[in-house]
Chain A
């Protein structure tokens, strides 16, 4: 999984930057040049890159939480091995991205604590429930599939440590995605009950997958720092369209129906109808589709989603309960939490 880079930074932060250095920097980046941590960079670049890597890292470790819950309930040994490896990979992605962010000036502890106390955010799609094995299949196929599209473009960014990390991450995302595709195909070539399980989960995950790429583009998207400095190389809408072009026909080929759904407060579907706009537009060559529910998207981002509280409570629980272990391995003190 990954984050999309919808982290804002005020361009005014550049006001203090030496204009000559800034001009050289911007030209270097515009010509495809790469930036390493010890190179000169505007403060705003550092801040934005840090927030992007931190948000991405947060998303990786929170994304592993709902999947981790399903390891013990995987339907076969092969699936259990693969899901365990995927969760290990995702937490590993978090570890590498925290390293990138740390080098830009914020300690790992501060980042882990800010995530739990709500100072920083993680990717919105992990605020939705994962009630069945079908959801595990759809997350791996759709969300990891979306992540590959997004991270594929991030790997052409300008910050050396981040793009090196993207390349390594993308190789593992390819495994997550292929495994997801295998699981979806297994369900869709199975019994009616398996197909129903897949369709129900697909209904829950189609909308979050569309919203995965972030809100619709603003008119000046390409002038904003994230794109001007090549931290992002594709806009949210471009990525979303690419996703639909790839996944809508594939989903339909397996027999899945793309629905527009209404959900209750717990994220479960209460009514649905086939997407009335869905069709291949002969003129544009793109698939037309119904936009995700953006009101709901912003409500969930503000904290009022089906699983926001559960995810953070679990993260807080393991962080607080693990503190004595970290202390013990660091300085040999072995007081368990109940004793102090």
Chain B
């Protein structure tokens, strides 16, 4: 059944009756698809605070395929050059159009220093497009070993293309075989009668 509200919508047009709330801050998400793999930039999202950002990241970037770890931080920290002395995770986008990938950690004075150290320790004279850094104290890390992300306790194949390959194949074979049998019987009847 459809809800009454949905089957009986007010027929309003023109300006909206509500003012909108302030824009939600943006968050950047990195995912690791298998334990031991590198963390890759997955994308961003809008959420009012860190708790909502984590819930949203779990649903949006953690359920499209198996995911073993999520890192989430306010978007501006990745490009910031200020900050304090601490451990920074550093990420390199090797070419324009590519995804930033996690290359390691550096001890640095601030964001700018982290990026410089990233070049020294992980890039050398290789070419790259951009570097991001994130202070470890601000980044939220969710690990599936202790905090399940991908819902592996139930079969998730229904939400993956590969979950249908076999059954689709079988149905095509059956339909084609059925058509061949029909064709065969058609001839059969013609000859016999």
Contact = CB atoms under 8 A, between A and B. Distances in A.
B64 A95 contact: no
A99 B26 contact: yes
Nearest to A171: B64
Contacts of B176: 253
A185 interface: yes
Given A108-B23, A253-B176, A255-B175, A319 B161 contact: no
Contact of A168 (B5, B48, B64): B64
Interface stretch (B39-47, B102-110, B119-127, B183-191): B39-47
B72 to A, nearest CB: 14
A33 interface: yes
A107 interface: yes
Interface stretch (B8-16, B132-140, B142-150): B8-16
Contacts of B49: 329
A323 B20 contact: yes
Nearest to B11: A313
Contact of A189 (B42, B59, B174): B174
A253 B23 contact: no
B168 A181 contact: yes
A291 B26 CA distance: 44
A102 B101 CA distance: 23
B18 A323 contact: yes
A164 B99 CA distance: 8
Nearest to B26: A99
Given A313-B11, A326-B21, A69 B6 contact: yes
B60 A178 contact: no
B165 interface: yes
A35 to B, nearest CB: 7
B48 A95 contact: no
Contacts of A99: 26, 43-46
A313 B14 CA distance: 11
A284 interface: no
Interface string B33-55: 00000000011111011001000
B64 A172 contact: yes
B64 A182 contact: no
B96 interface: yes
Interface in A42-93: 69, 72, 78, 81-82, 85, 88-89, 92
B160 interface: yes
B129 interface: yes
Interface residues of B, number: 57
A286 interface: no
A191 interface: no
B63 to A, nearest CB: 8
Contacts of A92: 60, 64
B96 A116 contact: no
Contacts of A160: 96-98
A277 interface: no
A310 to B, nearest CB: 7
A334 interface: no
Given A109-B23, A317-B10, A179 B97 contact: no
Contacts of A118: 13
Contacts of B6: 69, 314, 317
6 contacts: A33-B96, A85-B158, A88-B63, A118-B13, A189-B174, A327-B21
Question: Which 10 A-B residue pairings sit nearest by Cβ, starting from the closest?
Answer: A34-B97, A185-B171, A174-B161, A178-B164, A85-B159, A34-B96, A323-B18, A313-B9, A160-B97, A109-B20
Given A69-B2, A78-B158, A314-B9, 13 more contacts: A34-B97, A72-B2, A99-B44, A107-B23, A116-B16, A168-B43, A178-B165, A182-B167, A186-B171, A309-B11, A320-B16, A323-B21, A326-B48
Interface of A: 33-36, 38-39, 69, 72, 78, 81-82, 85, 88-89, 92, 95-96, 99, 102, 107-109, 112-113, 116-118, 160, 163-165, 168, 171-172, 174-175, 177-179, 181-182, 185-186, 188-189, 253-255, 309-310, 312-314, 316-317, 319-320, 323, 326-327, 329-331, 337
